[in-house]
């Protein structure tokens, strides 16, 4: 017997991947953990019989020859699979889009950083030129949309979009999908969102606003993750971490990020949790971290993550072209053409007097002015930056001051220069022509 299972607190990507697995491995039985997310429970209550899926206690484990794990690679996240852990004769396959380096040792695996696990299974369906019915297409699309935020999370890959195209072609129903992806907010969710909004702490790291909130959960609230996503949008933060106090013993942190530079999953893996760059969660014992300690530890980790990212020193150009203040404009122009640059610094590397850029040549009205010294046309009071500045900060400074050149100064000496091209190259990998 082949069984296909996935992580506890099963979300739609996990469920969809199990169902996709039952299509790819004929005869295989899907085993859905007892604890599933609320919207998944809602879906299963009406659709369960349409698929070949059962609960863990309905399985005769002695019969299992192959275990296929989807959307996780960690034993502790599976439900009642301990009996299989020590079996020598068991074959294990993994399909997963988390690169978390879990402890399940697979005989075969397909593990790639795409937006949803189901994308990887759809790839195989496309390869086999399979045709899906509208119901299967719809549940697969729900999984794909949930994990990629309707293809909008930064973790989304082109292949996720083409998997979505395949599912739509096979009749996935967007009306049905939206019912399960956007469940109505009930009083209990509105209450908790309102409580969270009243006590938000926003902290700025470099250019990012991170929202923190600690909330007491007096009762079980379904759809907390969706509430946190909405909360992030309402408070207009780049990322949020909400610490829900479950009881005296534990709290659950849910994180959401809208920027590539803050990897929520990586941060929460420090607390035995996990997820993606855009979304993650962890359940933490109060004995290890009080909610407030947890908050400061997360802030610390965000700072570390930011420091380990690229700085201006990594993307600046050097050496820098400098000319003396009495250089004739004609020579400056020739130099810029020769070096294919749009700006030249005036002075020495320890005494910056000004900058002249391509645009300044428009100020020259008469031919004789080409003999004039550059100091007559240069801009003074040049804005400089430090080498440890973040690229995003430099980009904002350029926009705010409407300048395209930022000399980089370290110990009162110019060591490089950053231009708009450097910034574009860094953010988009666009190479200058
Ligand atoms: Mn997933």
- For 81-117, write each residue's pLDDT tens digit: 998 998 989 999 999 999 888 899 999 999 999 999 9
Q: How far apart are the first and last CA of the chain?
A: 58
Architecture of domain 2-181 in CATH? Alpha-Beta Complex (3.90)
CA of 203 to the centre of ligand 1 (A): 29
Domain limits of the chain?
A: 2-181, 187-308, 313-428
CA of 430 to the centre of ligand 1 (A): 30
What average pLDDT does the structure give for the chain? 91
CA of 9 to the centre of ligand 1 (A): 11
Bridge partners for 202 per DSSP: 211
Nearest to 376 by CA among 407, 330, 321: 330
Neighbours of 32 (CB within 10 A): 25
Name 204's Cβ contacts closer than 8 Å, sequence gap at least 6: 210
Range from 57-71, 136-150, 218-232 carrying the lowest mean pLDDT: 218-232
Task: With 0.95 as the threshold, say if the pTM is over it.
Answer: no
CA of 228 to the centre of ligand 1 (A): 18
Q: How confident is the model at residue 429 (pLDDT cuts 50, 70, 90)?
A: low
CA of 392 to the centre of ligand 1 (A): 29
Which fold does the domain 187-308 belong to in CATH? Answer: Diaminopimelate Epimerase; Chain A, domain 1 (3.10.310)
Our measurement of the distance from residue 110's CA atom to the centroid of its chain's CA atoms, rounded to an integer in Å, reads: 21
CA of 403 to the centre of ligand 1 (A): 43
Mean pLDDT value of segment 333-352: 94
CA of 273 to the centre of ligand 1 (A): 14
CA of 143 to the centre of ligand 1 (A): 8
What are the DSSP calls for 333-396, one per residue?
HHHHHHHT-SEEEEEETTEEEEEEEGGGGGG--SGGGGGSBGGGT-B-S---B-TTS-HHHHHH
Give the model confidence (pLDDT) of 186-232 as tens digits: 788 888 999 999 889 999 887 789 999 999 988 878 778 889 999 99
Domain 313-428: top CATH class? alpha beta
CA of 117 to the centre of ligand 1 (A): 5
Q: Is the pLDDT of residue 330 over 90?
A: yes
Strand-pair category, 2-6 with 343-348:
unpaired
CA of 263 to the centre of ligand 1 (A): 16
Q: CA-CA distance, 432 to 429, in Å (whole number)? A: 9
Query: Can you give the pLDDT at residue 427?
Result: 73
CA of 351 to the centre of ligand 1 (A): 55
**3-state DSSP of 14-73:** HHHHHHHHHHHCCCCEEECCCCECHHHHHHHHHHHHHCCEECHHHCCHHHCCEEEEECCC
CA of 152 to the centre of ligand 1 (A): 15
CA of 321 to the centre of ligand 1 (A): 50
Q: Could you tell me if 286 and 230 are in contact, meaning their C-beta atoms sit under 8 angstroms apart? A: no
Give the model confidence (pLDDT) of 5-15 as tens digits: 999 999 999 99
* Residue 273 φ/ψ, nearest 5 degrees: -100, -155
CA of 362 to the centre of ligand 1 (A): 56
Range from 145-154, 165-174, 234-243 carrying the lowest mean pLDDT: 145-154
Residue 231 has which token pair? 């909360």
Q: Around 423, how many Cα atoms within 13 Å sit in the side-chain half-sphere?
A: 19
CA of 22 to the centre of ligand 1 (A): 17
CA of 4 to the centre of ligand 1 (A): 15
SS3 for 417?
Answer: strand
Q: Could you tell me if 159 and 123 are in contact, meaning their C-beta atoms sit under 8 angstroms apart? A: yes
């Amino acid at each position: 017997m082949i069984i296909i299972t996935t992580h506890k607190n099963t979300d739609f990507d996990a469920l969809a991947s199990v169902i996709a697995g039952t299509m790819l491995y004929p005869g295989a039985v899907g085993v859905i953990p007892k604890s599933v997310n609320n919207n998944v429970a809602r879906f299963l209550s009406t659709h369960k019989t349409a698929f070949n899926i059962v609960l863990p206690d309905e399985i005769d484990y002695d019969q299992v020859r192959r275990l296929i794990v989807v959307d996780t690679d960690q034993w502790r996240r599976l439900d009642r699979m301990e009996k299989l852990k020590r079996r020598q004769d068991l074959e294990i396959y993994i399909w997963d889009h988390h690169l978390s380096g879990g402890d399940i040792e697979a005989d075969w695996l397909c593990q790639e950083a795409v937006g949803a696990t189901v994308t990887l299974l759809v790839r195989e369906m496309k390869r086999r030129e399979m045709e899906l019915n509208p119901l299967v297409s719809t549940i697969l699309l729900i999984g794909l949309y949930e994990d990629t935020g309707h293809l909008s999370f930064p973790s989304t890959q082109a292949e996720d979009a083409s998997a979505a195209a395949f599912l739509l072609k096979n009749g996935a129903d967007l009306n049905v999908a939206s019912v399960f992806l956007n469940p109505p907010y009930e009083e209990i969710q509105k209450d908790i969102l309102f409580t969270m909004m009243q006590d938000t702490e926003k902290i700025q790291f470099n250019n990012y606003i991170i929202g923190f909130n600690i909330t007491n959960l007096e009762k079980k609230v379904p759809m907390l993750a969706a509430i946190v996503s909405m909360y992030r949008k309402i408070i207009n933060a780049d990322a949020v971490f909400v610490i829900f106090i479950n009881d005296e013993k534990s709290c659950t942190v849910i994180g959401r990020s809208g920027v590539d530079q803050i990897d929520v999953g990586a941060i929460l893996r420090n607390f035995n949790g996990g997820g993606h760059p855009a979304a993650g969660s962890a359940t933490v014992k109060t004995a290890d971290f009080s909610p407030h300690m947890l908050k400061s530890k997360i802030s610390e980790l965000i700072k570390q993550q930011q420091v380990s990212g690229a700085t201006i020193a990594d993307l600046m150009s050097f050496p820098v072209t400098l000319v003396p203040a009495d250089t004739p404009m004609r020579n400056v122009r020739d130099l810029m053409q020769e070096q294919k640059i749009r700006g030249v610094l005036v002075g020495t590397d320890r005494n910056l007097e000004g900058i002249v850029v391509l645009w300044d040549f428009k100020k020259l009205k008469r031919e004789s002015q080409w003999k004039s010294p550059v100091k007559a046309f240069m801009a003074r009071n040049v804005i400089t930056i430090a080498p440890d500045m973040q690229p995003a900060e430099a980009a904002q400074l350029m926009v705010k001051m409407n300048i395209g050149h930022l000399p980089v100064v370290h110990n009162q000496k110019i060591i490089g220069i950053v231009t708009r091209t450097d910034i574009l190259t860094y953010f988009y990998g666009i190479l200058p022509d």
